[in-house]
Amino acid sequence: MWRRALLAIAMAPAVWAQDSALALLAERCAKCHSGSAALSGFDLSTRTGLLKGGKHGSAVTPGDPASSRLFQWVSEGKMPPDARLTEPQIQSIRAWIESGAAWTGPEKLQVEAKRAGRDWWALQTPQRPEVPAAASNPVDFFVLSKLRAHGLEQAPVADHRTLIRRLSFDLMGLPPTPEQMSEPYEKAVERLLASPHYGERWGRYWLDVVRFGETDGGEHNFERFSAWRYRDYVIDAFNRDKPYNQFIREQLAGDAIYPDNPGLVAATGFLVAGPWDSVSAELNKDLAMKAAARQDELDDMLTTTFASFQGLTLNCARCHDHKFDPIPTRDYYRIAALFNGSGFGKREVATGAERTARETAAAPVRAELNEVRARLDEIEGAVRSRLLIEKYSAFDAARAKEAKRIPVNPLWNRNAFAPVTAKRFRMVVVSSGKDAPLVRRLDLLPGGTVARDWRGAEAASADRPAILTLNFAEPRTVSEIRWASEAAIKVYRFEWSVDGERWTTLCSSLDHVAGSELDLPDLPEAELLSALSPPLREERKRLLSARVAAQARYDAIPALTAIHAVNPHSTTPAYVLDRGNVQKRGEEVAPGALSAIGQISCDLPSTATDSERRLALADWIASPNNPLTARVIVNRIWYYHFGTGIVNTPSDFGFNGDRPSHPELLDYLANAFVEHGWSVKWLHRLILTSRTYRQSATFNEKAHSIDAGNRLLWRMPLKRMDAETLRDSILFAAGSLNQKTGGPGFLLQKKGDRGSYIYSAVDNDGPEVWRRAVYRFVVRGGDRIMLDSFDCPDPSVATPQRSLSNTPVQALTLMNNAFVLRQAGILAARIGSDPDPIRRASHILFQREPSAAEIATGLRFLKDQPLAAYLRALLNSNEFVYVP
């Protein structure tokens, strides 16, 4: 409207000046300077805001352009920053301010924003649009209103065969049997929603959203043999129609709520379902690189959580405030803090009784093992340490002239300091790997050996250090220690004290060369043996075989259930990182959630534990007052039914994402979903019984010219089967499908040997691999398999929407792959004895009678060619692969 005003020349000058100035403000300024996210806090979209000014002070003094900053800056060309206003434009601003900066007409400028502010639609509480009482189904009411506004109508209702097929593929990912074709529609809906195959189909969608894979990815790409428990949890949740708010809470904090229930601890597999760089996390000796890798882990967890449940792209705020959505960097690091006690790895989950049972079985064997070990240590320990120390001190002596300390090592360490005279000393071991520390010998210099074969009670850690205390009757002067350990003492300090209360450090592992390891040869077996007497040699031999036997019995005791799920550990202080750099810490922040969601808050003290943090986040997301949660999930369900979302970027409800095609419908569904107990099956029923869902896929030239993308739903789209549905349907048609549910996945790719981390495709055949594709062991970066050609994504990134492409490689695969040929052969054998195999095939594959022309074509083909070849062509046909 302002734009039109620019052209108006016949108006009174003052009105003309106002209209043209406001049009300029709307077009050239307000994209950055309007709304709650206005740059420099200057919102010129209303007169109040204009007069109030911003960070730089007042902007407009009515009547006085010269002292109005707005005029100064536009005339200097300082604003707008993209391109200077033209001279007539600048003069119109001047004229307008001079004449009093009048503002008649609409109170607020109409602005096409450049980014989302806190007033972004998706962050507002969903509206409650009215549905007329007469409307039979609210879905139809909203969809039809919009269609009619565009002068369009829906396609006619599809025929019964089409509907039953559509339902079956949509809800189960499998074709119906010929017998199911006569079932009434409503009855079919209920049967399918109650089928265990429903969860397999709809759980698979969720696994795409959360980037579920069963190997680590990357260089080492280790298998996660227990990750299937998360997949089974998801399938089961859909089958049970678990309330969605509970589904959220279990995936984020199931371990905190139900610590003894493996199935629900496994739900937290959500957080650790993504790729994991185990090499950087575990092997890298460069601490800066390691810290950066840990920050990447947190980024993966929070990105997936917010994309999956909130439809927000939080990761953009890692280096700078989100450029398009109201997510400041500070929020990002507060949210990262929510996860900073959550790690990767496996964890044991067991009830108290299971733990006791295992301990009862394990304790005697462990005692036996310890006894054998102790005796072995008696026999060889002293000899070993003597021989090793000899070897090592020679090496040490050779380096002594360089006056360097050698890295902390298992054998012979020395550490010097300014002399101290005291009666009390102690060695504090802070880290000793997974075994208890062992000090073979400790010498104080000047002087000599003061301890031998001292062993800590358990593995030492910062929380529970192992302490070797030395109390002398007389004061002694010490200026150097030398010690041998033969066990992995990694971090220690040596201290002295006057009163035994307050201790002062004399030296520590920090004084050694950091970050290096020396590779010294172990003591050769022969050298050790030659130092032992013959009877001791004999006894040692017996003990060694006893140890092997006992160890085997120990290993045979069934382990507690260990599952791939989130691995909690202690939290650490969290900081805002400058441009995401772990080396550049800024302000310390406490854990919290998004500040832009004003309806609810999630503020935690820095002392909150890992489980408290995740639980608080779970409650915040699962709150009925969170404006995004219900909208995002109802939109996902809608998207999978119709192939197009109300918001057609299901994991992005931000500025860069799509705008809702039917905002009232989205809000209606979101509110009703929560009111119906967050029931996904309730939502399915509502959608499936609508006329919108039941319309045919008939093409309509006029509608296509207005809305080629079918966003208005003038028909049901024709949908290509996704990769899993295609494979499963071929197996189903052939009668081969193994309907076993759950448990470890079957292998289509296998890891190489000789330390390789490459997974090659294996042509396994038989009932074990004829299970539904959702039960496949999902390898990241594995060798190409048939599913890949059909856009089944590698789960290294989340895939809220799959591509559905058509490529020659796909054609080659479906035509020539051994799997397809074999299944065509099996189907041929199944129907070969049928008097009318052409009709039978049509019933099995298309659930319809063949036409006379088809029968003629088929008979002509079968004169010279085998039935399997005929079926192979049918399995490749567009009619099989596309479901209307």
Partner 1 sequence: MSPNRITSPTRRQLLWEAGGGLAGIALASLMQESAEGATHFPVKAKRVIFIFLPGGLSHVDTFDYKPRLAAHHGQETKGENTITPFFGKRGTVMKSPWAFRQHGQSGKWVSDLLPHLAGRVDDLTFVHSMTTRSNAHGPAIFQMSTGFVFQGFPSVGSWISYGLGSENANLPAFVVLPDPRGLPPCGVANWGNGFLPAAHQGVIFGDERMPIADLNPPSAVSPSTQAATYDLLTELNERHLRDNPGEDQLVSRIRAYELAARMQVSAPEVTSIAGENERTREMYGLNDPVTRSYGYNCLLARRLIEKGVRAVQLYNGGHFGTPRINWDAHEDLVANHTKLAAGMDKPTAALLLDLKQRGLLDETLVVWTTEFGRLPISEGLGEGGRDHNPEGFTSFLAGAGLKHGFSYGATDEMGYRAAENPVTIYDFHATILRLLGIDHTRLTYYHNGLKRRLTDVHGRVLEHLLS
Give the nearer residue to partner 1 in terms of CB position, either 385 or 789: 789
Beta bridge partners, 414, equal 482
Beta bridge partners, 108, equal 46
CA 32 to chain centre: 33
Give the nearer residue to partner 1 in terms of CB position, either 117 or 742: 117
Residue 866 in the binding site for partner 1 (CB under 8 A): yes
* Nearest approach, Cβ of residue 196 and partner 1 (Å): 30
Which residue in 36, 400, 806, 832 binds partner 1 (CB under 8 A)?
Answer: 806
- Per CB under 8 A, which region of 118-126, 186-194, 536-544, 784-792 contacts partner 1? 784-792
Beta strands in 53-106 (DSSP E): none
Residue 208 in the binding site for partner 1 (CB under 8 A): no
CA 483 to chain centre: 47
Give the nearer residue to partner 1 in terms of CB position, either 145 or 865: 865
Which residue in 39, 279, 445, 467 binds partner 1 (CB under 8 A)?
Answer: 279
Q: Residues 750 to 769: which contact partner 1 by CB under 8 A?
A: 752, 754-759
* Nearest approach, Cβ of residue 29 and partner 1 (Å): 19
Cα gap 683→637, rounded to integer Å: 8
Beta bridge partners, 746, equal 776
* Nearest approach, Cβ of residue 882 and partner 1 (Å): 7
- Region of 41 (left: φ > 0; alpha: ψ -120 to 50; beta: rest) is left
Cα gap 473→424, rounded to integer Å: 9
Q: How many residues does the chain have?
A: 884
Residue 663 in the binding site for partner 1 (CB under 8 A): no
CA 477 to chain centre: 58
- Per CB under 8 A, which region of 472-480, 594-602, 707-715, 765-773 contacts partner 1? 707-715
CA dihedral 449, 453, 456, 459 (to 10 degrees): 110
Q: Residues 577 to 616: which contact partner 1 by CB under 8 A?
A: none
Residue 695 in the binding site for partner 1 (CB under 8 A): no
Q: Which two tokens stand for residue 808?
A: 């020659």
Residue 877 in the binding site for partner 1 (CB under 8 A): yes
Give the nearer residue to partner 1 in terms of CB position, either 286 or 359: 286
Q: Residues 463 to 522: which contact partner 1 by CB under 8 A?
A: 513, 515-519
Give the nearer residue to partner 1 in terms of CB position, either 145 or 816: 816
Answer yes or no: are the C-beta atoms of 452 and 486 closer than 8 Å: no
- Burial class of residue 172 in the structure, from the number of CB atoms within 10 Å of its CB (0-12 exposed, 13-18 middle, 19+ buried): buried
Which residue in 254, 657, 660, 837 binds partner 1 (CB under 8 A)?
Answer: 657
Residue 878 in the binding site for partner 1 (CB under 8 A): yes
In degrees rounded to 5, what are phi and psi of residue 524?
-65, 145
- Give the position of tokens 């409800």: 653
Answer yes or no: are the C-beta atoms of 438 and 453 closer than 8 Å: yes
Which residue in 367, 400, 812, 829 binds partner 1 (CB under 8 A)?
Answer: 812
- Per CB under 8 A, which region of 3-11, 174-182, 566-574, 775-783 contacts partner 1? 775-783
* Nearest approach, Cβ of residue 307 and partner 1 (Å): 6
* Nearest approach, Cβ of residue 275 and partner 1 (Å): 5
3-class secondary-structure state, position 223:
strand
Element (H, E) at 335: helix 329-338
- Per CB under 8 A, which region of 5-13, 332-340, 567-575, 788-796 contacts partner 1? 788-796
Q: Residues 416 to 455: which contact partner 1 by CB under 8 A?
A: none
Contact pattern for partner 1 over residues 358 through 377, marking x by CB under 8 A: --------------------
Give the nearer residue to partner 1 in terms of CB position, either 607 or 878: 878
Which residue in 170, 200, 296, 486 binds partner 1 (CB under 8 A)?
Answer: 296
* Nearest approach, Cβ of residue 214 and partner 1 (Å): 14
Helix axes 228-240, 196-209, angle to 10 degrees: 120
Q: Residues 226 to 265: which contact partner 1 by CB under 8 A?
A: none
* Nearest approach, Cβ of residue 705 and partner 1 (Å): 11
- Give the position of tokens 């905190």: 256
Give the nearer residue to partner 1 in terms of CB position, either 446 or 709: 709
Residue 92 in the binding site for partner 1 (CB under 8 A): no
Contact pattern for partner 1 over residues 515 through 554, marking x by CB under 8 A: xxxxx-----------------------------------
Q: How many residues bind partner 1 (CB under 8 A)?
A: 103
Q: Residues 165 to 204: which contact partner 1 by CB under 8 A?
A: none
Beta bridge partners, 562, equal 348
- Per CB under 8 A, which region of 77-85, 148-156, 673-681, 867-875 contacts partner 1? 867-875
Which residue in 635, 651, 671, 690 binds partner 1 (CB under 8 A)?
Answer: 651
Which residue in 58, 261, 469, 857 binds partner 1 (CB under 8 A)?
Answer: 857
Cα of first residue to Cα of last residue in the chain, in angstroms, is 44
For residue 279, what are the CA distances in angstroms to 216, 290, 509, 781? Answer: 10, 9, 25, 16
Q: Which two tokens stand for residue 360?
A: 């009862």
- Burial class of residue 352 in the structure, from the number of CB atoms within 10 Å of its CB (0-12 exposed, 13-18 middle, 19+ buried): exposed
Nearest to 710 by CA among 780, 794, 628, 648: 648
Which residue in 56, 699, 829, 836 binds partner 1 (CB under 8 A)?
Answer: 699
Q: What is the DSSP string of 779-790?
A: -TTPPP-HHHHT
Q: Tell me how far apart the 2 most distant CA atoms of the chain are, in Å.
A: 120
Dihedral sign computed on CA atoms, order 695, 701, 703, 708: positive
Residue 150 in the binding site for partner 1 (CB under 8 A): no
Which residue in 151, 803, 835, 852 binds partner 1 (CB under 8 A)?
Answer: 803
Residue 732 in the binding site for partner 1 (CB under 8 A): no
Q: Which residues contact 824 (CB under 8 A, 6 or more apart)?
A: 734, 868, 869, 871, 872, 875
Residue 219 in the binding site for partner 1 (CB under 8 A): yes
